[in-house]
């Protein structure tokens, strides 16, 4: 069912395109050798190029260009062997050049596609229009002094990839799924850390609404949204605002807006410029970027296995459901963790433990997959203890919790707490006899056909054995004795 918003005039369709600015992982800036580390003291990572001293010349960073190409390849996109840097002219206090070096007419990456998965299990392709390289601007600090603003140029000149999608997105959920998938691909590729809190990944959300079958109506751009949740909220509240404007007899004006997460609304920032307002022209300081196909092929050959391919492999190789495989491949480190637990073991049981008890423990303890509450090796050992019938599944959960608490291995916990499963049929028979003797009425009911009572007997025998009975042997003994 297509997502629509019900207005007073009936249902409205939501049309969304995203422009994502992704900071390139690179030691130095796009056109200078200054460092790019996050959190450095203000203006400590600024070269003369970044501060736009007269006569300084930009020199393209080969690694930043390689990162953009890797990203294009990861987005199944066309790599343009010839691209060009242009000047985008505008005045801003934290942009000392008076222009941003960007790519306008000839971006380094052309059309591509990202596949997203939705909660109903369906998939959808979102088109990529282009990816271009550009410089980031500096940062104005307005909260350091009562009457002055300060400027930090550390970010000035840092390489950004602007990844523009087609207006293929039709709901808040799709917008969220798209940005999550994009972030996952960038992290796998190692081209952007995807850290939205630190501003390494920010989205400009273009929203319009229309009636089914109509051409696109005027859109508004919600700038610099910095979390997946906020992107989804921005889509929804901006669509609601526009519907109210149209239904009130007004007309939506093309403009740039800001999302205020505290008030859950968007606010007008400025009327939207058109491309011609920026007076783009080729940067005379820079030659066109010309790539050799062989170099691009080399980058392609060195790409890691990406989430879609890994998901397909997990389904084929381990027999996992599409959903479980998707959860496990979202982060590369999680996929690695799972594979080392699953290796040589029952993969479905491994997947259940990783996505179940292990994820829950990670959430509860606030640990991460890089610093997990239980190592992959230890979790694997726990599964082995179940597989060889040393412990049963119920006791395994108890052992797992003790592993999280104490950091000890499963075998040590089983020994210390005497949790080894009881397979001694003498002990099992004795427990079964005792339970039967203590419940003559239930036995009579069971024998007269109340089969459901079997679970009652199993539960009581297990209780008598402190949960350690081998379930198969307990069942067999009960069946035999209840006759």
Site residues (vs Mn ion, CB under 5 A) = 162
DSSP-assigned letter for residue 19: E
Considering the complex, what minimum distance in angstroms separates the CB of residue 92 from Mn ion? 13
Calpha distance 23→37 (Å, rounded): 11
* CB nearer to Mn ion: pick between 224 and 439: 224
Calpha distance 4→214 (Å, rounded): 14
Q: Is the distance from CB of 46 to CB of 153 less than 8 angstroms?
A: yes
* CB nearer to Mn ion: pick between 270 and 463: 270
Calpha distance 180→167 (Å, rounded): 17
* CB nearer to Mn ion: pick between 102 and 392: 102
* CB nearer to Mn ion: pick between 72 and 172: 72
Q: Measured on CA atoms in the order 437, 441, 444, 445, is the torsion positive or negative?
A: negative
CA angle 316, 319, 320 (to 5 degrees): 105
Q: Is the distance from CB of 6 to CB of 157 less than 8 angstroms?
A: no
Nearest to 25 by CA among 186, 134, 139: 186
Considering the complex, what minimum distance in angstroms separates the CB of residue 205 from Mn ion? 14
Considering the complex, what minimum distance in angstroms separates the CB of residue 319 from Mn ion? 44
Considering the complex, what minimum distance in angstroms separates the CB of residue 344 from Mn ion? 48
Q: At what angle do helices 454-464 and 425-438 cross, to 10 degrees?
A: 120
* CB nearer to Mn ion: pick between 257 and 310: 257
Going by C-beta distance under 8 Å and a sequence separation of 6 or more, which residues neighbour residue 315? Answer: 321, 322, 325
Considering the complex, what minimum distance in angstroms separates the CB of residue 161 from Mn ion? 9
What HEC string does 107-130 produce?
A: CCECCEEEEEECCCCCEEEEEEEE
Considering the complex, what minimum distance in angstroms separates the CB of residue 250 from Mn ion? 30
Calpha distance 252→244 (Å, rounded): 10
* CB nearer to Mn ion: pick between 19 and 429: 19
Considering the complex, what minimum distance in angstroms separates the CB of residue 103 from Mn ion? 10
* CB nearer to Mn ion: pick between 162 and 429: 162
* CB nearer to Mn ion: pick between 164 and 413: 164
Considering the complex, what minimum distance in angstroms separates the CB of residue 162 from Mn ion? 4
Q: By Cβ distance, which residue is nearest to Mn ion?
A: 162
């Amino acid at each position: 069912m297509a997502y629509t918003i019900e207005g007073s005039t009936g249902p409205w369709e939501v049309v969304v395109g995203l422009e994502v600015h992704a900071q390139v992982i690179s030691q130095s800036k796009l056109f200078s050798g200054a460092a790019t580390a996050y959190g450095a003291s203000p203006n400590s990572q600024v070269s003369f190029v970044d501060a736009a001293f007269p006569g300084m010349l930009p020199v393209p960073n080969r690694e930043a260009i390689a990162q953009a190409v890797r990203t294009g390849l990861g987005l199944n996109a066309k790599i343009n062997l010839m691209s060009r840097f242009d000047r985008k002219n505008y005045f801003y206090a934290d942009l000392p050049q008076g222009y941003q070096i960007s790519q306008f007419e000839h971006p380094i990456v052309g059309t591509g596609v990202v596949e997203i998965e939705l909660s109903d299990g369906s998939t959808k392709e979102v088109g990529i229009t282009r990816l271009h390289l550009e410089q980031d601007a500096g940062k104005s600090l307005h909260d350091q002094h009562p009457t002055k603003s300060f400027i930090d140029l550390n970010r000035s000149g840092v390489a950004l990839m602007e990844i523009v999608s087609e207006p293929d997105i039709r709901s808040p959920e799709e917008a969220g799924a798209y940005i999550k998938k994009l972030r996952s691909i960038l992290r796998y590729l190692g081209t952007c850390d995807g850290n939205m809190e630190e501003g390494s990944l920010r989205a400009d959300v273009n929203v319009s609404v229309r009636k089914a079958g109509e051409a696109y109506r005027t859109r508004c751009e919600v700038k610099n949204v910095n979390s997946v949740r906020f992107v989804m909220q921005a889509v929804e509240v901006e669509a609601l605002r526009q519907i109210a404007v149209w239904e009130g007899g007004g007309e939506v004006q093309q403009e740039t807006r800001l999302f205020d997460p505290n008030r859950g609304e968007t606010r007008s920032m400025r009327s939207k410029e058109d491309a011609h307002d920026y007076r783009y022209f080729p940067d005379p300081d820079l030659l066109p970027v010309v790539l050799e196909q062989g170099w691009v092929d080399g980058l392609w050959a060195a790409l890691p296995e990406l989430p879609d391919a890994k998901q397909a492999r997990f389904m084929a190789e381990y027999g996992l459901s599409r959903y479980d495989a998707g959860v496990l491949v979202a982060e590369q480190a999680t996929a690695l963790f799972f594979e080392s637990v699953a290796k040589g073991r029952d993969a479905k049981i491994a997947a259940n433990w990783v996505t179940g008890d292990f994820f829950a423990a990670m959430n509860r303890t606030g640990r991460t997959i890089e610093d997990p509450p239980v190592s992959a090796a230890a979790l694997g050992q726990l599964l082995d203890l179940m597989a060889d019938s040393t412990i049963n599944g119920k006791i395994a959960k108890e052992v797992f919790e003790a592993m999280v608490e104490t950091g000890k291995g499963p075998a040590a916990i089983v020994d210390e707490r005497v949790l080894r499963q009881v397979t001694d049929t003498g002990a099992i028979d004795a427990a079964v006899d005792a339970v039967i003797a203590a419940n003559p009425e239930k036995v009579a009911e069971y024998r007269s056909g109340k089969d459901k009572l079997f679970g009652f007997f199993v539960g009581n025998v297990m209780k008598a054995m402190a949960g350690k009975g081998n379930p198969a042997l307990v069942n067999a003994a009960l069946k035999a004795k209840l006759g």
